[in-house]
Amino acid sequence: MLPAWAVRKVWDDPRRIPYLLIWKHPRDGTNKDAVRIARQLPRTSFPEADSVEIKRTDGSTVPIYLAWRRQPHGGRSLLLKCWECQRPSRALYGWKVGNDGRYLCAVLADWQCRRCADLSYASEGGALLYRSGVVSRIFRMPCEATKCPRPDVWLPYVFSSPEAARQTGMF
């Protein structure tokens, strides 16, 4: 997940330097993904042209356009536009649901919204329940469905330089 608050840190930095975002696996602590995010200079004075560029470790780059929304108290909030449907969203996702011919799997995506990436929450459709399986039915020992814990959100660690990430032990 690429949250809008992380992009806002890059956008509001007066130095206009690229930032490093790193996602670590919540259980084993290994680095799973890293991107460089840099503010793009708008070619026009329209706020719809505000954008950042996201560069992955494989060298692929994707521009993300920003959508600003006015707040009742006079401030403004940042939303990120999905490149596919152009809808503003609070977060974009770098992975989407794919199909390897037999099973559904996660495949790399170009930072889409949940709907375009075909993602769903774990709580949708009863995915947070352990149910009795074939073995319990064979031995006629039914088990009640038990709740399993909600998965952790994978938010990125945000660094203003690779040296800052190295000092915290990220790599």
Express each pLDDT in 108-125 by its tens digit. 888 999 999 888 776 665
- Check residue 86 and give left, alpha or beta (phi > 0: left; psi -120 to 50: alpha): left
State whether residue 22 is helix, strand or coil: strand
Express each pLDDT in 50-68 by its tens digit. 899 999 999 999 999 999 9
Q: Decide if 137 is inside a domain.
A: no
Residues 156, 6 contacting (CB under 8 angstroms): yes
The Cα–Cα gap between 111 and 1 comes to 9
Question: Which pLDDT score, from 0 to 100, does residue 100 have?
Answer: 74
pTM: 0.77
Question: Which pLDDT score, from 0 to 100, does residue 35 have?
Answer: 93
Q: Decide if 136 is inside a domain.
A: no
> Looking at the chain, how many residues does it have?
171
Q: Decide if 140 is inside a domain.
A: no
pLDDT higher for 147 or 73?
73
What is the Cα 111 distance to its own chain's centre?
8
Residues 106, 92 contacting (CB under 8 angstroms): no
Q: Decide if 55 is inside a domain.
A: yes
Question: Which pLDDT score, from 0 to 100, does residue 122 have?
Answer: 64
Question: Which pLDDT score, from 0 to 100, does residue 95 have?
Answer: 87
Q: Decide if 80 is inside a domain.
A: yes
Q: Decide if 106 is inside a domain.
A: yes
Q: Decide if 132 is inside a domain.
A: no
Q: Residue 42 sits in which domain range?
A: 2-119+154-167
Q: Decide if 9 is inside a domain.
A: yes
| Number of domains within the chain | 1
Express each pLDDT in 121-139 by its tens digit. 766 655 555 555 655 666 6
Question: Which pLDDT score, from 0 to 100, does residue 28 have?
Answer: 85
